[in-house]
A = this chain, B = another copy of it.
Amino acid sequence: MTSPTTPATTSTDAPHVVVVPDSFKGSLGATDVAAALRTGVLAAAPGARVTCLAMADGGEGTLDALLTTWRTPIHHVETVDAVGRPTTARYAVSPDGRTGVVELAEASGLPAVGDVPLQPLHAGTRGTGDVAAAVLDAGAEEVLVCLGGSASTDGGAGILTGLGARLLDAHGEPVPDGGEGLAQVASLDLGGLHPRARQVRWRLAVDVTNPLVGELGSAAIFAPQKGAGAGDVAFLDEALTRWADLLERETGVRVHELPGAGAAGGVPAAFVALLGAELEPGATLVAEAVGLPMALADAALVLTGEGSFDSQSVRGKVADGVARLAAASPARPPVVVVAGQVLLPAEQTRAAGITAAFSIAPGPIGLDDLMSRTVARLSDVAASVTNLVLAR
């Protein structure tokens, strides 16, 4: 891997350790966790090359992780929030300009509308469509859309509208925003769709497998936490069905039962049927975006971690994404989780492609005590693991 411009002092023999943790929620941010792990690695193997990468699971916080890694400028778009009020949303573009990143929660998130009564039928994603249009204007060839944290159940209709499409009722009039509008939609006018909307590759970070409609659908499972009562849920499920029927008529693509289509109020429905979007596990998507596969190619050890390592961790979260990529890398480096608490038995840990998981707890200890020693213990456990893997 040495190029003619590599300085003579760079040793390709130095073992390469990749440090790519999630945050320890409520205790330490991912960047600080990575720094503490790095300290331990270098204490045990002073000659090691250590690459720290910011990771996220494709949900809220992903945009920040990518901006940290890429060190690219933050772009802003003046748009509307989930209930139509003016707001400013951010997006990111990768250093090579190829990849744009849209985080749905930026413009259309639930927390941002926490100051007004929940509007399960009216809230929408038009603001995210405005952001997506700005990313297309910026020239991105692929767009990562991070879902999660949405306030709406609109099947992605708002995003389409932001991108220039029009949803019309039986009289040819535009329907209102939100799930309410879906109940009236009769036809779709794509004449004004952003010219690049069908040229780029859309990649959606999706960590649920819920279908768009039905008992496990977007309305039934997720709308209640956005304020929907039982009647609203039935209404929204019918509206989403009507919307999916329309999409199927227009495109031939059936998204009613598509696993993952129920994420973020059904946003994938419009993206998949009309724009050919791919649904991908968030952690894997983000990992690729920060360059993890390339970093893993010659890694001798991969350290990841999170506050609580449990059965959720190996289902689409950071540790899972890291493990999948490590298994696919030519070096097949061992992946070690260093966690505040380890609740997953070793057998299930291994089955998930994770070599080992260790807690930072030094023995019987209370939560407060342990949190106060998180940095030191992260370094210590990282040093032990490094010593075991490298310094032999």
Query: Which residues in B have their C-beta under 8 angstroms from that of A115?
Result: none
Tell me if A347 is interfacial: C-beta within 8 Å of chain B.
yes
Which residues of chain B are near A364, meaning CB under 8 Å?
A: 340-341, 361, 365-367, 369-370
Residues of B within 8 A of A380 (CB): 345-346
A387 interface contact, C-beta 8 A: yes
B-contacting 9-mer, from A97-105, A171-179, A352-360:
A352-360
Whether A163 is near chain B, meaning CB under 8 Å from some CB there, is no
Which of chain B's residues have a CB closer than 8 A to the CB of A389?
388
Interface centre among A40, A356, A380 (most CB of B within 10 A): A356
CB proximity of A107 to chain B, nearest CB, Å: 37
In the complex, chain B residues whose CB is within 8 Å of the CB of A342: 362-363
**Given the contacts A343-B363, A365-B364, A388 and B356 also touching, CB distance less than 8 Å:** yes
Counting CB contacts under 8 A, is A350 at the interface? yes
Contact B358 A361 (CB under 8 A): no
Interface check A311, CB cutoff 8 A: no
- Asked whether any CB of chain B lies closer than 8 Å to the CB of A85, the reply is no
- Size of A's binding interface in residues, CB under 8 A: 42
Whether the pair A388, B388 counts as a contact (CB closer than 8 A) is yes
Contact of A363 among B340, B349, B385, B388 (CB under 8 A): B340
* A43 interfacial contact with B, CB 8 Å: yes
- Find chain B residues with CB under 8 A from A362 CB: 341-343, 359, 361
Task: State whether the Cβ of A383 lies closer than 8 Å to any Cβ in chain B.
Answer: yes
**A334 contacts the other chain (Cβ, under 8 Å)?**
yes
A88 within 8 Å of B by Cβ?
Answer: no
Tell whether, in the assembled complex, residue A355 and residue B387 are in contact, meaning their CB atoms are under 8 Å apart: yes
A334 adjacent to B388 (CB under 8 Å): yes
Q: Does A312 contact B (CB under 8 A)?
A: no
CB neighbours (8 Å) of A355 from chain B are 384, 387-388, 391-392
A351 to chain B, nearest CB (A): 11
CA distance A79 to B127 in the complex (A): 93
A350 to B388, CA, bound (A): 10
Q: Are the CB atoms of B385 and A356 closer together than 8 Å?
A: yes
A sample of 25 inter-chain contacts (CB < 8 A) reads A332-B392, A334-B388, A334-B392, A336-B388, A339-B363, A342-B363, A343-B363, A345-B380, A346-B379, A346-B383, A346-B387, A349-B384, A350-B387, A355-B384, A355-B387, A355-B391, A356-B385, A356-B388, A357-B384, A358-B384, A363-B370, A364-B365, A364-B366, A365-B365, A388-B389
Q: Which A residues fall within an 8 A CB radius of B?
A: 40, 43-44, 308, 332, 334, 336, 339-343, 345-347, 349-350, 355-359, 361-367, 369-370, 379-381, 383-385, 387-389, 391-392
Closest 3 CB pairs of A and B: A341-B363, A356-B384, A346-B383
